[in-house]
Amino acid sequence: MTSSPAGGEVSVTRLSSESGGLDEVDGVALSAFDHPQFSVREELSRPWSRSWVARRGGDAVAFVIAWHVADEIHVLNVATLPAARRQGLARLLMQEVFAYAREHQARLLLLEVRRSNAAALWLYRGLGFHTLSVRVGYYGDNGEDAIEMIAVLDQTTGELLPGKDEVPFPC
């Protein structure tokens, strides 16, 4: 898929463990997270792992990793290079995850996000996620709470179903 968000044309492709440029995707993770806790190669070795990369001018600028288990898609990680943020790249990748979910008749999309991560909370909010619960002290590095978020799809039509926040938003 190609798209033209702010900043110029971007291609989005699904990754496999045979894909080229996996080290480059790890490089995006390294730039995006203080403590990257995964390698995309390791992630892709799991049969239930799905990942997409956004490239601009051939260079990896953002990626997303999700697990597909039964009728659920669990979004583990989405990250954009700091210099490429606020150009619609994470939204584009998440839209790809929604398209995958619809294609495979998934019912739920789930994720956890740090309570302090306003950028991510608003990203997910804009895509139709609602808050489901607070996981107190979920993150081992600093004891921060996780906000669990959910989006529910109609399995027949793929339509995003209306939901409500179980935890007040913004959190």
DSSP state of 138: -
Q: In whole angstroms, how close is the CB of 46 to ligand COA at the nearest point?
A: 19
Q: Footprint of ligand COA on residues 16-35 (CB under 6 A)?
A: 32-33
Q: Binding residues for ligand COA, how many (CB under 6 A)?
A: 22
How is 144-168 classified by DSSP, letter by letter? Answer: --EEEEEEEB-TTT-PBPP---SS-
Residue 80 found at the interface with ligand COA (CB under 6 A): yes
Please answer whether residues 64 and 50 qualify as being in contact, where contact means their C-beta atoms are separated by less than 8 angstroms.
Answer: no
Choice among 112, 138, 139, 144 that is catalytic? 112
Residue 73 found at the interface with ligand COA (CB under 6 A): no
Of 66, 72, 65, nearest to 106 (Cα)? 72
Q: With respect to ligand COA, which residue has the nearer C-beta, 14 or 86?
A: 86
Indicate the helix (H) or strand (E) that contains 24: helix 22-32
Residue 112 a catalytic site member: yes
Residues contributing to the site for ligand COA (CB under 6 A): 32-33, 62, 77-80, 85-91, 113, 117-120, 122-123, 126
